[in-house]
Structure formats: structure tokens, C-alpha cells
Amino acid sequence: MKRFSNEVKLDVILFFTDHLQLCQDRAIERFTKGLHLVKPDVIEQMYNNTIPLLKTNFQAIDRLIMLDARKSNEVSLQGIYSKAAENIKVFDKGAVWFRDDVLPFIKEQLAIKRFDNPSLKSWDDNDLGPAR
């Protein structure tokens, strides 16, 4: 998409969880309600590929909203990344996938941008972007 026009903006809303079994259980629940069956091995493959694919395609993303899915059918906003603002707002670090994997990756990507452009200011732990 983006290679056709730089005007195209890609916003991604990522729903993820620390619990593969939650994905498996929800697929079974959907199937028992008459929807299509997604086999457990396909769910596991998709689950295991989600974060690596996010990282591989990260440079194309303009805005990333990261939500942690919970067993109680609730979600918790973990963070919002903005390429334009060159920052990430952290709201909750309760999800292991966010705290230990995605957040450090995004911090690293922002640090690389800062290294490439030293005029950018440092950040604090709440607003990982240029100081205002």
C-alpha cells in the first residue's frame, strides 16, 4: 500500500494476549455458535507470528494502538505509538508481550531515529517521544 503513495497512512489496532489458550477458547466458542472453524494449529501459528510480523512491518505503520485481551472479555490499553509524533504513550505495562517484547522494540526504534537525528530530545517513561 505505502509504496504506491506516501499519502497513505497505516493505522493498526493490535489486540493481543499473553495466553494462547484464550485464543483457542474463543475460536471454539465462535464455532459452537455456528461460525467457521479455525483449527488449533492455525491459531497457534497466527499467535506465534503476530509479534514477529508486527516488527517486520513496523516501519510502514503510522499509528499503532496496542490492546491486551483479557479472559473477562475486557481489553487493557497498553500503549499508542505515533510515527508522526515520534513517540509512544504507555498506559499499562501489565501485559508481558507488551512490557517485555513490543515496548523495548519500539523504544529501540525510537532510539535509532534519535541517533540518526540528534536534534530530537530524550524521553521519560510516560511519553517516549520528543520533550515538549
Q: Which of 83-87, 92-96, 100-104, 128-132 has the lowest mean pLDDT?
A: 128-132
Selection from 82, 80, 87 nearest residue 111 by Cα: 87
- Please write the tens of the pLDDT for every residue from 46-94: 999 999 999 999 999 999 999 999 887 899 999 999 999 999 999 999 9
Task: For residue 29, give the amino acid letter.
Answer: E
> 3-state SS string over the chain?
CCCCCCCCCCEEEEEECCCHHHHHHHHHHHHHCCCCCCCHHHHHHHHHHHHHHHHHCHHHCCEEEEEEECCCCCEEEEEEEECCCCEEEECCCCCHHHHHHHHHHHHHHHHHHHHHCCCCCCCCCCECCCCC
Average pLDDT over residues 32-55: 95
Q: What's the pLDDT score for residue 2?
A: 53
Per the CB < 8 A criterion, the answer to whether 12 and 61 are in contact is yes
Residue 5 or residue 1, greater confidence:
5
Cell numbers for 64, please give them. 499503532
pTM, rounded to two decimals: 0.80
**Average pLDDT of every residue of the chain:** 87
